[in-house]
Chain A
Amino acid sequence: MKNKPSAKISRRDAMKVLAVVAGAAALANVPDKWTKPGLDIGVLPAHAQTSSGYTLLAGASDPNANYCFNLISTATISPAASGIVLRYVITTSGTVTIASPALSGTIPTDISGSVSLNITVDSSLPFDVGDTVTVTWTFENASDGIGSGIQVFTSSGNGC
Chain B
Amino acid sequence: MLVPAPIEGFQIETLDGEIVLLHPARNLIIHSNQTGALIWHLCDGIRTVDEITELLSAAYPDARDEIQADVPAVIQTLISRGALRSK
- The answer to whether any beta carbons of A and B sit under 8 Å apart in the complex is yes
A interface, CB within 8 angstroms of B = 3, 6, 8-11, 13-15, 17-18, 21-23, 26, 28-31, 33-44, 46
Take A14-B55, A22-B17 as given contacts and tell me if A39 and B29 are in contact as well, using a CB distance cutoff of 8 Å. no
Nearest B-chain residue to A35, judged by Cβ? B35
Chain B contacts of A15 at CB under 8 A? 59
Q: Is the CB of B27 within 8 A of A43?
A: yes
Cross-chain contact of A33 among B33, B54, B63, B70 (Cβ < 8 A): B63
Q: Which of B28, B33, B44, B81 contacts A37 (CB 8 A)?
A: B33
**In contact, A37 and B39 (Cβ under 8 angstroms):** yes
Establish whether residues B60 and A46, one from each chain, have CB atoms under 8 Å apart when the complex forms.
no
Determine which of A6, A18, A39, A46 lies in contact with B36 in the assembled complex, contact meaning CB atoms within 8 Å.
Answer: A39
The answer to whether the Cβ of B38 comes within 8 Å of any Cβ in the partner chain is yes
How far does the Cβ of A35 sit from chain B's closest Cβ, in whole Å? 5
> CB of B58 within 8 A of chain A?
yes
Residue contact A26 to B32, C-beta cutoff 8 Å: no
Interface of B (DSSP majority class): helix
- Flag if B35 contacts A29 (CB, 8 Å): no
B55 → A minimal CB distance (Å): 5
Q: Shortest CB–CB separation between residue B68 and chain A, in angstroms? A: 11
* Number of A-B pairs, beta carbon distance below 8 Å: 106
- Are A21 and B38 interface neighbours, CB within 8 A? yes
Q: Which secondary structure dominates chain A's binding surface?
A: loop
Contact assessment for B44 and A21 in the assembled complex, using a CB-CB cutoff below 8 Å = yes
User: Is the Cβ of B58 less than 8 Å from the Cβ of A34?
Assistant: no
The answer for the CA separation of A155 and B24 in the assembled complex, in Å, is: 42
Given A9-B58, A23-B14, A37-B70: A30 touches B38 (CB 8 Å cut-off): yes
Q: A33 to B17: give the CA distance in the assembly, Å.
A: 13
Whether B49 sits at the interface, judged by CB under 8 Å, is no
Q: Say yes or no: A34 contacts B74, CB within 8 Å.
A: no
A6-B54, A11-B61, A21-B44 given as contacts; is B31 within 8 A of A42 (CB)? yes
Contact (Cβ within 8 A) A36 B59: no
- Asked if B30 and A39 make an inter-chain contact with CB atoms under 8 angstroms apart, the answer reads yes
Chain B residues near A21: list those with CB within 8 A.
38, 41-42, 44
